[in-house]
Amino acid sequence: MIWDRLLRNLHLVTLAEPGGGWGMVRDAAIAIRDGQIAWLGPAAELPHQNARHTTDLQEAWVTPGLIDCHTHLIFAGSRVEEFERRLEGVSYAEIAARGGGIMATVRATRDASLETLVETGRERLRNLMREGVTTVEIKSGYGLETATELRMLRAARELGRELPVSVITTFLALHALPPEFADDRRAYVELVAGEMLERALAEGLVDMVDAFLEGIAFTAEEVGRLFRAARGQGLPLRLHADQLEDGDGAALAASFGALSADHLEYTSEAGVRAMAEAGTVAVLLPGAFYTLRETRRPPVDCFRRLGVPMAVATDANPGSSPLLSPLTALNMACILFGLRPVEAVRGMTVNAARALGLASDRGSLETGKRADLAVWRIAHPAELCCWLGADPLELLFIEGEPVVPPARRLVPSRPAPLRPSLRPASRAARRPPRGR
Ligand code: DI6
Ligand code: FE
C-alpha cells in the first residue's frame, strides 16, 4: 500500500496514553493516507517507505494540532476603554451593569457587515493557527437578535470554508439580556429557545449550544429552557459556569449531560462530583482569570482527584480575555492554575477534543485519526508551556496536507488594510497627486 505522505526524522508526542502522559516516541515516523494517520511509531519499525511525498522534519517534535475549544472570535469594535476602566478599579460586573462590557460589543457587532466580521475574524484565526491551532470553536452571542446572531454564525462557517482549519460553531444567544427585553426577560429566552435557535438550525449554522449562567447573565431556569429545546434537537451542550460566583453551574451542566462546563473558578466539590459522574469536561480559561485579575482559582486538585478531564482554551474575546495566543493560555494554565505542562497540552488536544465531542477522530496521534499535526522546533514538549513569545511552530498538517503557518498580524481588531497614514509609503502613494 502506497502512502500519500511519509513524515520522517521526527519525535512524536502522541498524547494517546490512557494514563495521561506525553506518549513520547523519539526517532519516529508518521505515514498518512486519505487525510488520516495510517501508521506511526519508531522509524526503525516502519513497514515500508513507499509514499507519494516524503518529508524530512529534521528532528522536530510533532504533536496533534491544537484545539481551541472555547472562543468568541467573531465580533466587531474595540473594548480598550473598558480595559482602562478596569485598571482604574471598576469591575467587569459594574461595567456590564452600566451597559458596557458584552453590550458594547453587541452594539458594534449589530452594525457590522458579514464581510467585516469575516475579515476581522480571519485575522484573529490566523493568529491562532500561527501557534498550532487546527480546530477552533467559535461562539455567537454578540448579536442577541436573530439577524446578528445568524450573521455571526455565517461568518464563522465562512472562515471554516476559507481556511483549512476546522471550525465548530456554538449558538450562545443567552450571553446577555439585550436592552430591548429589559422588562421582559422571559420573552427573550422564549425567542432564543424558539425562533432564533430554529432559524439558525435550519440554516445549518449550529454545532452546539452554550449559555452564560451567572448573576450578571441568566438563571438556571432560563438556561434550562434553552437546554431542553436544544437537547430536543439532539444538540450537544456547553455552559459558562461559576466564573464570578458559585451559581451551581457545574451541577446544572452535568444534569443536562453537557460536554463541558467552562470557567469554573467558584465550582464546589459537589459540582465537580456531578461533572465526574456525567463525564463533563472542565474547560479552564486562564486568559479571563488573568485579565479580570481574579484571585479564586478553579478547583484543579479536585478535578484531578475525582477524575474530571481538564481542557484549556483561550476564551479569545474583546473584553474578559483579549488573548489570541493558545501557547500563552498553556503557560497561564501552568503558572496561574498549577497545571503540569503535560496536563496543559492534553488540555488543548485530547481533552479539548472531548469538550467538542470530537475525541473519536482527533486530539491525539493514533492510527485512524485525522492527520492534523503541529510541527514544533523545540527540545522537549514542555517548552510549549514554558516560553512566552517564542514562536516555535514550524509547520502544520491539516488532514495530511501541509499548511504554512500564517504570518502574525498586529492589529486584529479592525479590517485590513491599516489606515493609509500608518502604511509604509508605497510607490503609488508617493506618486504626486494628479492635477484636478
Ligand atoms: N464569559 C466570558 O469569558 C466571555 N463571555 C462569557 O460569558 C466574555 C465576553 C466578553 O466580555 O465580551
Ligand atoms: Fe467565554
Task: Write out pLDDT tens, residues 359-395.
Answer: 999 999 999 999 999 999 999 999 999 999 999 999 9
Expressed in angstroms and rounded, the spacing between residue 285 Cα and the centre of ligand 2 is: 8
Query: Do residues 59 and 10 make contact, with C-beta atoms less than 8 angstroms apart?
Result: yes
Q: Based on the domain organization, do 371 and 243 belong to the same domain?
A: no
Give the pLDDT confidence score for residue 274 in this predicted structure: 98
Ligand 1: lining residues by beta carbon, under 6 Å: 72, 101-102, 105, 175, 212, 240, 243, 288, 315, 317-321
Q: What is the pTM of this model?
A: 0.94
Point out the ligand nearest to the CA of residue 138.
2
Residues of the chain with pLDDT under 70: 409-436
> Dihedral, CA atoms, 364, 370, 372, 377, nearest 10 degrees?
50
Give the pLDDT confidence score for residue 431 in this predicted structure: 45
Q: Based on the domain organization, do 216 and 348 belong to the same domain?
A: yes
The beta strands (E) that lie in 347-416 are given as 373-376, 393-398, 401-403
Point out the ligand nearest to the CA of residue 213.
1
Is 175 inside any structural domain?
yes
Give the pLDDT confidence score for residue 425 in this predicted structure: 47
Is 430 inside any structural domain?
no
Give the pLDDT confidence score for residue 417 in this predicted structure: 54
With the most atoms of ligand 1 within 8 angstroms of its CB, the residue from 242, 317, 323 to mutate is 317
Task: List the domain range (segments joined by +) for residue 258.
Answer: 66-355
Look up residue 100 and give its amino acid: G
Radius of gyration of the chain, Cα coordinates, nearest whole angstrom: 22
Contacts of 97 (CB under 8 A, 6+ apart): 216
C-alpha cell at 338: 498549577
With the most atoms of ligand 1 within 8 angstroms of its CB, the residue from 82, 102, 285 to mutate is 102
The domain tally of the chain equals 2
- The proportion of the chain whose per-residue pLDDT surpasses 70, expressed as a percent, equals 94
The Cα-based distances of 268 to 249, 273, 299, 301, 305 in angstroms read 10, 9, 8, 12, 14
Residue 93: Cβ within 10 Å count: 15
Query: Do residues 61 and 13 make contact, with C-beta atoms less than 8 angstroms apart?
Result: yes
Q: Based on the domain organization, do 250 and 311 belong to the same domain?
A: yes
> Dihedral, CA atoms, 192, 198, 203, 204, nearest 10 degrees?
90
Q: Based on the domain organization, do 71 and 42 belong to the same domain?
A: no
Expressed in angstroms and rounded, the spacing between residue 234 Cα and the centre of ligand 2 is: 22
Parallel/antiparallel/unpaired status of strands 260-263 and 238-241 = parallel
Measure the CA–CA gap between 78 and 60, rounded to whole angstroms: 38
With the most atoms of ligand 1 within 8 angstroms of its CB, the residue from 70, 106, 140, 315 to mutate is 315
H helices present in 233-268, as ranges: 249-255
77 DSSP assignment: S
Give the pLDDT confidence score for residue 77 in this predicted structure: 95
CATH of the domain at 295: 3.20.20.140
Is 269 inside any structural domain?
yes
Is 436 inside any structural domain?
no
Expressed in angstroms and rounded, the spacing between residue 323 Cα and the centre of ligand 2 is: 12
Atom of ligand 1 nearest to the CA of 105: 12
Q: Based on the domain organization, do 254 and 332 belong to the same domain?
A: yes
**pLDDT tens-digit readout, 91-134:** 999 999 999 999 999 999 999 999 999 999 999 999 999 999 99
Expressed in angstroms and rounded, the spacing between residue 70 Cα and the centre of ligand 2 is: 6
Q: What SS3 class is residue 94?
A: helix
Expressed in angstroms and rounded, the spacing between residue 142 Cα and the centre of ligand 1 is: 10
Tell me which residue has its CA closest to atom 2 in ligand 1.
320
Measure the CA–CA gap between 219 and 333, rounded to whole angstroms: 28
Q: Based on the domain organization, do 331 and 197 belong to the same domain?
A: yes
Expressed in angstroms and rounded, the spacing between residue 163 Cα and the centre of ligand 2 is: 23
Expressed in angstroms and rounded, the spacing between residue 411 Cα and the centre of ligand 2 is: 21
Contacts of 232 (CB under 8 A, 6+ apart): none
Tell me which residue has its CA closest to atom 1 in ligand 1.
240
Is 343 inside any structural domain?
yes
Give the pLDDT confidence score for residue 95 in this predicted structure: 95
Q: Based on the domain organization, do 12 and 151 belong to the same domain?
A: no
The rounded mean pLDDT for the chain is: 94
Tell me which residue has its CA closest to atom 8 in ligand 1.
320
Q: Cα–chain-centroid distance for residue 81?
A: 25
Atom of ligand 1 nearest to the CA of 102: 12
Is 434 inside any structural domain?
no
Expressed in angstroms and rounded, the spacing between residue 56 Cα and the centre of ligand 2 is: 39
Among 167, 178, 176, CA closest to 205: 167
Among 92, 329, 145, 129, CA closest to 121: 129
C-alpha cell at 90: 471598576
Q: Cα–chain-centroid distance for residue 380?
A: 24
Expressed in angstroms and rounded, the spacing between residue 218 Cα and the centre of ligand 1 is: 13
Crossing angle (nearest 10°) for helices 146-162 and 114-130: 50
Query: Do residues 68 and 326 make contact, with C-beta atoms less than 8 angstroms apart?
Result: yes
Give the pLDDT confidence score for residue 385 in this predicted structure: 98
Atom of ligand 1 nearest to the CA of 315: 3
Atom of ligand 1 nearest to the CA of 92: 11
- Name the burial class of residue 116, with classes exposed (0-12), middle (13-18) and buried (19+) by CB atoms within 10 angstroms of its CB: middle
Q: Based on the domain organization, do 279 and 335 belong to the same domain?
A: yes
Q: Based on the domain organization, do 176 and 59 belong to the same domain?
A: no
Give the pLDDT confidence score for residue 436 in this predicted structure: 34
The Cα-based distances of 425 to 408, 419, 420, 421, 430 in angstroms read 21, 12, 8, 8, 6
Contacts of 117-121 spanning 24+ positions with Cβ under 8 A: 117/74, 117/75, 117/76, 117/151, 117/152, 117/155, 118/155, 118/158, 118/159, 118/162, 119/415, 119/416, 120/74, 120/75, 120/76, 120/412, 120/413, 120/414, 120/415, 121/73, 121/74, 121/155, 121/156, 121/159
State whether the Cα torsion 354-358-360-361 is positive or negative.
negative
Expressed in angstroms and rounded, the spacing between residue 210 Cα and the centre of ligand 2 is: 9
Tell me which residue has its CA closest to atom 3 in ligand 1.
320
Give the pLDDT confidence score for residue 416 in this predicted structure: 56
Q: Based on the domain organization, do 191 and 324 belong to the same domain?
A: yes
Tell me which residue has its CA closest to atom 7 in ligand 1.
212
C-alpha cell at 262: 467552562
Q: Based on the domain organization, do 215 and 347 belong to the same domain?
A: yes
Among 223, 213, 219, 168, CA closest to 192: 223
Expressed in angstroms and rounded, the spacing between residue 113 Cα and the centre of ligand 1 is: 22
Give the pLDDT confidence score for residue 435 in this predicted structure: 38
Point out the ligand nearest to the CA of residue 109.
1
With the most atoms of ligand 1 within 8 angstroms of its CB, the residue from 172, 222, 292, 321 to mutate is 321
Parallel/antiparallel/unpaired status of strands 3-13 and 24-33 = antiparallel
Is 272 inside any structural domain?
yes
Q: Based on the domain organization, do 205 and 340 belong to the same domain?
A: yes
Is 432 inside any structural domain?
no
Give the pLDDT confidence score for residue 413 in this predicted structure: 60
CATH of the domain at 38: 2.30.40.10
